[in-house]
């Protein structure tokens, strides 16, 4: 898989990665979800292990094999993901939010299955905001040298949206990829631009998600070594 013999430039480092997509329950059998496969986050975990890191992978509903050598913490909802990531981040050198976190959840989860009734229109589903985990991680770092990385899938003016989001979230790196037209979701490959606070932009051409993961770790390892 191309990671054997990698330079152990993350040896002695603890990295936390969130992957997959959260599911927000509506009733005992239904949820609001998204199309994230978890493949990019799992590729980040495998490559970080190969580079010598201790890896905590907070996995939201990803139907993928556990990466060898990583500690996997399974979660379901955005609030569970927040708990698990904040706990693991307390002693982490870097946190990468590759998970697709639901922006909203149903304002109430009912204990009984929602039933249809003849001649009765369904109730609208009321939603409330979920916490913004990336913004919270960026604003409340356990150590100033901790590196926080976000992902953004954008349409339209991808780079302008990405730069604005990097500033708004307050993270160090934002990995931006263009979605729509079958790109990114569920595929084996990805194409992205890594935006950094302070200006640098690293385009990563279309290729395996492991390659994009390694370019992200190159930048993270470089920043950690000069911190
Ligand atoms: N994210 C998060 N918590 C949320 C929503 C998003 O931590 N409640 C993280 C994602 O894991 C990702 C980054 O924030 O790393 C950007 O997610 P995105 O959905 O692009 O950002 P939003 O601020 O939700 O903006 P948008 O309105 O475009 O969805
Ligand atoms: Ca969002």
Pocket test for ligand 1, best of 41, 98, 152 (most atoms within 8 A of CB): 152
Label residue 155 exposed, middle or buried (CB < 10 Å: 0-12, 13-18, 19+).
Answer: exposed
pLDDT tens, N- to C-terminus, the chain (227 residues): 445 567 899 999 999 999 999 999 999 999 999 999 999 999 999 999 999 999 999 999 999 999 999 999 999 999 999 999 999 999 999 999 999 999 999 998 789 999 999 999 998 999 999 999 999 999 999 999 999 999 999 988 999 999 999 999 999 999 999 887 656 566 788 899 999 999 899 999 999 999 999 999 999 999 999 87
Give the global pTM.
Answer: 0.95
Using the atom order of ligand 1, give the atom closest to the CA of residue 151.
15
CA of 6 to the centre of ligand 1 (A): 31
Q: 91 catalytic, yes or no?
A: no
């Amino acid at each position: 898989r191309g990671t054997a013999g990698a330079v152990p430039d993350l040896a002695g480092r603890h990295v936390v990665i969130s992957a997959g997509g959260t599911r927000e329950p509506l009733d005992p059998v239904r949820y609001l979800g998204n199309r994230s496969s978890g493949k990019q986050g799992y590729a980040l975990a495998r490559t970080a292990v190969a580079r010598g890191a201790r890896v905590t992978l907070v996995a939201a509903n990803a139907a993928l094999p556990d990466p060898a050598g990583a500690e996997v913490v399974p979660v379901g909802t955005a609030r569970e993901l927040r708990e698990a990531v904040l706990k693991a981040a307390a002693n982490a050198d870097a946190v990468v939010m590759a998970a697709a976190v639901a922006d909203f959840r149903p304002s109430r989860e009912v204990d009984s299955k929602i039933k249809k009734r003849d001649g009765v229109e369904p109730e609208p589903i009321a939603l409330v905001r979920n916490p913004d985990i990336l913004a919270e991680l960026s604003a409340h770092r356990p150590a100033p040298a901790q590196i926080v990385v976000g992902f953004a899938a954008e349409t339209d003016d991808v780079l302008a949206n990405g730069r604005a989001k990097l500033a708004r979230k307050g993270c160090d790196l934002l990995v931006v990829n263009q979605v729509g037209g079958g790109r990114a979701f569920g595929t084996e490959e990805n194409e992205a631009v890594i935006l950094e606070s302070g200006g640098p932009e690293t385009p990563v051409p279309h290729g395996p998600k492991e390659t994009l993961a390694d370019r992200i770790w190159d930048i993270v390892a470089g920043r950690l070594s000069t911190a």
